[in-house]
Structure 1
Amino acid sequence: MWPRGRLRGLSAQRAERAGNVPPGTRGAGLQGAYAQPRRCHHDGQYAPRVRVHLRRGFRPSQHPPRLYPNGICTLPRVSRAELIKACSHPLGVPQSLLVAYALSFLVSVFQAVYTPAASLYAHGLGYSEADVGYILGIANFVYVPGALLSSMLARRASERRTTILSLALLALAAALTPRVKGFWELAAAVGAVFLSMGLFWPAVESIISASSGKVSTFSFSWSSGALFGALATSQALRLGASALFSVFALASAVAALSALAMPGASRSAGERSSSLSLLEFWPSWALCLSYSISAGGVLVFYPLLVERRRLPLEYISLAITSMMLARTLTFFYFDRLPRSLRGVWVGALGLTGSLLLLATAEYPLAALAAAAAGFGQGVVYANALGDVFSRGGGATRYTSVFEAMIGLGYSLGPVAGAALSSTVGVEPILAASALAFSLALATYLRKMRA
């Protein structure tokens, strides 16, 4: 722990004779560089104003700072800004990762609350469940070109600018949502929200990948945000559409400003990938579809089921929170799970848990059913994302296709549920769950034969 107060500097010769400075630094001298007091420890203590011994000819990445008992701090020749930056991250996490994880958390909160809110808002305008499914399905489909466009924008500008643009668009679209009532106008406004998210996620994933971020940490950051949003959904819905969407717009504008501190991801030679290399990841794309079809079916249709059965609004938060909590814990502990529980076939079986939401109105059973679906989604998603992140930094194109597949699944789930509901009379959640299970199981069997 760094002592408090200003420390008295020593000459290079005296420090070396005292054994406090490594040999070979004689003649470098003590420079007058100081670090202003910064909060640099987890317990909240401040670092002192220290006299810095600048070692010539060394790079920060090769020789980290060292503090000696007499207060001499040996550093490479660095600027004052770099010195302050070294004290600003006690956990050793780059600033780009900290901001990216925070934005992932925040946007996930919006996404968890916005979909049920938009679903109930459209139903409150007089649209049937099938119409709501079509509106949300069309809106979610816009996510696909947004995710694919994200890589193009990132290559021409940067991931940071793409992230700022997406958050600004999210603020505008959220403010517009409660002011439209027509079918196509509402689909366009909701679609603009999902377009902004399609632009956002590939850019952030590329920054995290380029900064050597961990799959488990990223998955935990956005899934914990979704979990927090799920917990707040029932209370947020009581605010009313106008107030709720206005809060989204304001928070998104603030997030866009905070993204200014996030640098763009570095480019790599493997960024320009052929269509053949993209096809090598077909199991990941198929599992993305399965995961998002299952999640989209629950997020869109379960709030309508609760309203139709006149159940308390708390059921919405209960089911979505249980689903996302199980998914988050699966992400966090995925590497520690037994190998037998990390298989795609196990995840496929877990996806069928959402079917039990149709058969029960009891709190414990509804929570268990949603948790089973969340576990299945976590296993399927982790298997899909692991292959994509293995490409390392700058793989914007891979993350764009990955997110495009997720958006396509969020579109297919509501559309398939609405189509079967209006034609055959099948419950929409049943159709979405069956489709998700079939796709995950088919992918597993295909990989086993290959």
Structure 2
Amino acid sequence: MTEYTGGALEADHLCVLVHGLWGNPNHMASVAKTVRAQFPPEKVYLLVAKRNSGSFTYDGIECGGERVCLEIEEELESIKRRGGNIKKISIVGYSLGGLVARYAIGLLHARGVLDNLECMNFTAFASPFVGVRSPLRGWWSVLFNSLGARTLATSGRQLFGVDKFRDTGKPLLAVLADPNSIFISGLARFKRRTLYANITNDRTAVYYTTGLDKTDPYTDLSKVKVHYVKGYEDVILDPINPVSPLPASHHDQPKPPLRATATKWFRRIPLILALTVFIPIGVVAYLVNSAIQTIRSINRVKQHESGLAGIDIKSYRVPLWINEIREAVEDAYEEINSSQNQEYLRLSDSEGEGSDSGEEILALERKQSQPWRPTLALAPYQFAAKEALDKVGFRKFGVWIHQATHSHAAIVVRTERENFSEGQVVLNHWVREEFLP
């Protein structure tokens, strides 16, 4: 990693890389290597954030963002002290790192750090911009949303949108996307904002949240024709026309005979028996570890809040809104409610006729839902966040990783593996076609 990071004092462009949940700087090694292969040390100075490594990512987006902000300020000061002169800045976030980076950008903007820099690129790889709350129906959705929010400490509550950030009464994800916030104003300063989203096999952050889309046209890829960016076929989708529906005759397949189906399930019996033994053990171990990590995270956050973690947080607790005196506006966001458990919004749903702004958002989204691309049953704050981020403007690229079943790790080549090679195509596209030097 050290051979790719850092840079020469002649470099005028600082590029910051921020890893994701449970991550560490090594997860960004391939990203750093790709940047360095395209831009020499005399051109781009690379900083891989390290203060949020490992279990420190449990501590929440706010805490992580303050740490990254401090790292950036320290690096800029260090370069200046040694005779360098950084004039440009780019920030790259992977997974949860995209949200942490957005929080840090808001702080850098509010503290005046960006006033002396040309903001070039903000890039996100598989970042859950509107959280990870599952819009699926049934008991699995309830279990996933309830368990997930309570097993990842502060970060879990924020990712599932069940927190109330400071005195706002809103989830942090809603505050991050508030049009009047320092976070949106800071993000808007960047000349180019790009995101890459896996369209399938991302078990950590699914397409609708990473691609800022209220629909998911990739639920059944046998029913659509995929269009690719020229030169990056089979991996990078055309952002203007990513897919088109196929005629029904192209994807209507005869049902397999009963004997073939029975044989298929018979072959799965050993796997099913193994899972009935190992899943309960794994769940217990996961819950025990989650409890331990939550306690540790609480203690770390207390140290952070008291200033004992090496950060003077008072200087980072800046006003979140552009106006010093916040106007009283109707809250357009609401917490997750148990009644919203359908997979798609339907015009026949009875709710949405009231005066509550959240219900008005849902009613509008139902009317706009299209038959072949129905609108997912997201929460009102998620719809509002998507709209606000779309207004800022993102260049969106869908990514189809074929060779790996864990596309979340493959999209940034988190480890050097042969079946992650398509992720290198993504990174090459980014540095060659999207990155503004």
TM-score (norm 2): 0.22
Write 1 or 2 for the structure with the bigger share of strand: 2
The structure with the largest alpha-carbon Rg is 1
